[in-house]
Amino acid sequence: MTNVFDTLEKRGYVEQLTHPEEIKKLFEKESVRFYIGIDPTADSLHVGHFISLMVASHMQKAGHKPIILMGGGTAVIGDPSGKTDMRKMLTIEDIDNNVASIKKQIEKFLSLEGENAAIIVNNADWLRDLKYLEFMRNVGVHFSVNKMLAAECYKNRLETGLTFFELGYMLMQSYDFLYLHDNYDCKLQMGGNDQWSNIIGGVDLIRKIGADDSYGFTFKLLTTKEGKKMGKTEKGALWLNPEKTSPYEFYQYWRNVADDDIENVMKLLTFIDVDKIEELTKYKDERINEAKKIAAYEITKLVHGKEEAKKAEEATMAMFEGKGNVDTMEETKIDGNISIVDAIVTSGIVNSKGQAKTLISQGAITLNDKKIDDISYMLQDSDFQAGYAILKKGKKIYHKLVK
């Protein structure tokens, strides 16, 4: 059996390791309990968390045991790493709600049953009742402020301001690792590369307290070749929750990634064999679109299930290649013959009438393939001859209107 480490490395996940040799050996020697933390700062995960879950899934498939740590306790503070400003503070109720809805998404990636079932824990369970004095004595003493301030993630904060409150984040995350190490036999913490400082904080803490079996592992963040973060859209982040980002939009996002990024995306966000990916992405002309289709389908399938992925794919074919089925298109029920502007807004294609008008005047809106250039156009019965009307924004966004 191949070492997961090789798999992860081959697919390009690996960024930094605290103990490269030991970690590789550990993976071979035993079924390792590892943890990945997720901060419940929204009621849905977004693509940034996607890689974490992929890594966890690869690990689980290789026989290791994932612990997903929901940061129900630490989210109260907000991780200052890489942020220029302090995050907005969330109420405890918000966080608890978020934790509940995120759990459902995690279940799609990890098996919660069987011998190496994933477990989901919430650090609120141990952090909220923490006694300050005890914590300072047992944990606080092991942290050198000098060292912390030298860390890259706090450096830029030194200029804009950093509160003690936020500085405490590292201690809490480190304590999480210690807690999981002692209570769940967790030996490895994994996370995005922005978590490096926090992760080594935990690894060092455990080692200072006396154990020598703690390790850290960070993986790449999902960025474009130009180094920009991926997953931004007009409406904000690309969410994994279908109510926030529809499966079709989600599919389209991946269908449209840049040529330069497709190989990376496939390796990181699908389970397709690496050799196959390289084969698919070696082209420099339109043949690379084949890879994008496969990537979009596979990624959507992972997040929304086979059925939704199929629907998104069929809707795409219907729209872009003139085959397939309009039934799969997202649809909105319209009340009577409203104006085109209202139709655009109620379908959710854009957020305001102003935007709808702008688009019309730019020639971006078509109805049943007829360009609409009149802002005051009213929908008519003749627009629904097939029982529906197809509203199109730009070249890529379609919506079905029914009465």
Nearer to RNA, 117 or 158 (CB): 158
d(CA 274, CA 272): 6
| β-pair type (215-219, 365-367) | unpaired
Nearer to RNA, 29 or 284 (CB): 284
Under the binding rule (CB under 7 A), the answer on residue 162 touching RNA is yes
The DSSP result for 198-214, as a single string, is HHHHHHHHHHHHT----
Quick one: which of 337, 351, 380, 385 contacts RNA (CB under 7 A)? Answer: 351
Under the binding rule (CB under 7 A), the answer on residue 352 touching RNA is yes
Under the binding rule (CB under 7 A), the answer on residue 378 touching RNA is no
Nearer to RNA, 81 or 252 (CB): 252
Nearer to RNA, 160 or 385 (CB): 160
Under the binding rule (CB under 7 A), the answer on residue 255 touching RNA is yes
Q: Count the Cβ atoms, other than its own, within 10 Å of residue 83.
A: 15
For RNA, the binding residues in 45-74 under the rule CB under 7 A are none
Under the binding rule (CB under 7 A), the answer on residue 396 touching RNA is yes
d(CA 198, CA 201): 5
- For residue 194, indicate whether it is catalytic: yes
Nearer to RNA, 137 or 396 (CB): 396
Tell me which DSSP letter residue 337 carries: S
For RNA, the binding residues in 207-246 under the rule CB under 7 A are 226, 228, 232-234
Of 36, 39, 77, 37, nearest in space to 60 by CA: 36
* CA dihedral sign, ordered 277, 48, 252, 228: negative
Under the binding rule (CB under 7 A), the answer on residue 159 touching RNA is yes
Per-residue contact string for residues 282-301; x = within reach of RNA by CB under 7 A: --xxx-xx--x---------
Nearer to RNA, 31 or 163 (CB): 163
Tell me the chain's radius of gyration from C-alpha atoms: 24
Cross-strand partners of 237: 232
d(CA 194, CA 78): 14
Say if residues 86 and 78 touch (Cβ distance below 8 Å): yes
- For residue 232, indicate whether it is catalytic: yes
Under the binding rule (CB under 7 A), the answer on residue 311 touching RNA is no
Q: Count the Cβ atoms, other than its own, within 10 Å of residue 20.
A: 13
- For residue 233, indicate whether it is catalytic: yes
d(CA 348, CA 340): 13
Say if residues 15 and 219 touch (Cβ distance below 8 Å): yes
- For residue 173, indicate whether it is catalytic: yes
Nearer to RNA, 4 or 222 (CB): 222
d(CA 350, CA 341): 10
Quick one: which of 31, 256, 325, 380 contacts RNA (CB under 7 A)? Answer: 256
- For residue 245, indicate whether it is catalytic: no
To RNA, the closest distance from the beta carbon of 85 in angstroms equals 6
Quick one: which of 257, 265, 340, 372 contacts RNA (CB under 7 A)? Answer: 257
Of 158, 161, 153, nearest in space to 218 by CA: 153
Q: Count the Cβ atoms, other than its own, within 10 Å of residue 47.
A: 22
Q: Which stretch binds RNA (CB under 7 A): 134-142, 154-162, 187-195, 268-276?
A: 154-162
- For residue 147, indicate whether it is catalytic: no
Active site residue ranges: 41, 46, 49, 83, 87, 173, 194, 229, 232-233
Residues binding RNA (CB under 7 A): 84-85, 158-163, 226, 228, 232-234, 252, 255-260, 284-286, 288-289, 292, 316, 319-320, 341, 345, 351-355, 357-359, 362-364, 375-376, 393-397
